[in-house]
Structure 1
């Protein structure tokens, strides 16, 4: 009887862990996207200059440098 209870407990624990592992990436993605959802650079009704200034103000120096030296695999197709 005790081993049956233990097996059921392990099965339930495994199910809970598997379910939470599957839902974590979606929850993490939502947490990443939400803070920038209201950022002015997403608002296409604003002037381009204002949107660019907002985006550049949010970027770190490393991010700006990465944009300048980035290499795209399909660059010749652009």
Structure 2
């Protein structure tokens, strides 16, 4: 869970249309998953997935959920 100490930008809107609520302090939930896998001794990888559910810190019109994922492969020279 993500919280804000205060909402100093409440009631304002950004140029991209993002807006904030008047008094909400709950930013939302952030769920994260990480899977590591060693393919060989020198080759490893991971998969990262994040899911964000906005809280009442954001205005009702700006509360769309967000997904982010990343795949990384690393080769180590010995």
Provide the TM-score with structure 1 as the length reference. Answer: 0.19
Structure with higher Rg: it is: 1
Q: Which has the higher helix share?
A: 1
Q: Which has the higher strand share?
A: 2
Pick 1 or 2: higher relative contact order, CA cutoff 8 A, min separation 6: 2
Provide the TM-score with structure 2 as the length reference. Answer: 0.19
